[in-house]
Amino acid sequence: MRIGLVGYGVGGHLFHLPYIQAAKEWEIVGVVTRNPARREVLAGEAPGVPAFDSMDDLIDAGVDAVTITTPPQTRRELVLHALERGVNVVADKPFAPNLAGAKELAEAAAAAGKVLCVFQNRRYDTDLITLQGVLASGDLGAPWRSRIVFDLDEPGGLEVGPEHGLLRDLGAHVVDQAIRLFGPVARVDGHLDWVDTPDGRVDVGFSLGLHHASGVFSDVSASKLCRRIAKEFTVYGAKGYYESHMSDRQTDQLTSGLRPATAPKGVWGVEEPDRWGTLVTADGAHQVPSAAGEYADFYRQFHAAVADGAQPPVLLPEVLHTIAVLDAARLSDAQGRSVVPEA
């Protein structure tokens, strides 16, 4: 099947094109970018893949699906137009600025009869997949509470404006991860770190207390302005605890020049042994070998959804719940109280 990429900034270059190329089920038809420098980069990364001036030009070339990874303020109109043109859509996050906006896009996909899938690539992070294996093994016992941290030293990567901020950005990932691990959230306590910029007030960090309906409590936090780089998972359970401090493995491999389509077998998405997580129980402390994460699995599952009617890799009801939790966190911060997410 044929797919096109709309946008070729950092997201298109590092988080989409390499994984579309690695998912052999897809043929990459073209990339929409008018930037001459990015067109040069594209020619080096995907020789023979044409650049287009507009999404309409790309769709006219014949595609079954498009991935939209343009700046957040442009995304709504592009998703709606792609659905109107009759193609399936992968939408980057932030998917929408609030729950009402997310529902509008979900309803448009249902009306068009097309698959609309949000690119929650962090479900395929090496550290998360490794932790899921620990929980599935039962060695930790029933989980009680967790801590998830995703700090980046990227002050220039902050999206500013009333509908942006870090909660909508990294928050969409770490909240989705917590829900993936422990189920829906029943109540939210939110704190946001705010700064004033020439473009307006923006949240640059957050710490959320997520009370899951399962009884698990998750402490979820992130920052882009604290000069700290950290990915952390800690889970306390009935039999002990598990802790990991793995790197952003796939991104590090990409920036070092590796590509998922050509990396040696058993290398891609596998963490170095000195960063493996540790499981501590009554039997002592044990390192847990790294699982292999690969964002290309998202595109393989998306292909199955489009081609065969299989379940998409990310369901829209899951996306709506995550955004409802983010809305609740913002309201909690503003009003200084616990908030129940909208159903």
How confident is the prediction along the chain (343 residues), in pLDDT tens digits per residue? 999 999 999 999 999 999 999 999 999 999 999 999 999 999 999 999 999 999 999 999 999 999 999 988 899 999 999 999 999 999 999 899 999 999 999 999 999 999 999 999 999 999 999 999 999 999 999 999 999 999 999 888 777 766 679 999 999 999 999 999 999 999 999 999 999 888 788 999 999 999 999 999 999 999 998 999 999 999 999 999 999 999 999 999 999 999 999 999 999 999 999 999 999 999 999 999 999 999 999 999 999 999 999 999 999 999 999 999 999 999 999 999 999 999 8
Tokens at 103, concatenated:
């529902």
pLDDT score, position 241: 98
pLDDT of amino acid 157? 78
Q: Can you read off the two tokens belonging to residue 297?
A: 């699995």
Q: Which amino acid is at 68?
A: I
The pLDDT value recorded for residue 169 is 92
Task: For residue 115, give the 3-state DSSP assignment.
Answer: coil
Please report, for residues 105, 110, 193, 317, the alpha-carbon distance to residue 144 in angstroms, rounded to integers and kept in the order given: 35, 37, 27, 25
Residue 308 has a pLDDT of 97
Q: Identify the pLDDT of residue 163.
A: 67
d(CA 114, CA 159): 29
What integer pLDDT is reported at residue 199 of this predicted model? 78
Which residue bears the tokens 């042994």? 273
With the CA atoms of 139, 146, 123 and 41 taken in that order, what torsion angle do they form, in degrees rounded to the nearest 10? -120
* SS3 (DSSP) at 101: helix
What distances in angstroms separate CA 315 from CA 180, 299, 306, one per listed residue? Answer: 12, 14, 13
Which pLDDT score is estimated for 164? 79
The per-type count for the chain, helices as H runs and strands as E runs, is 11, 14
- pTM as predicted: 0.96
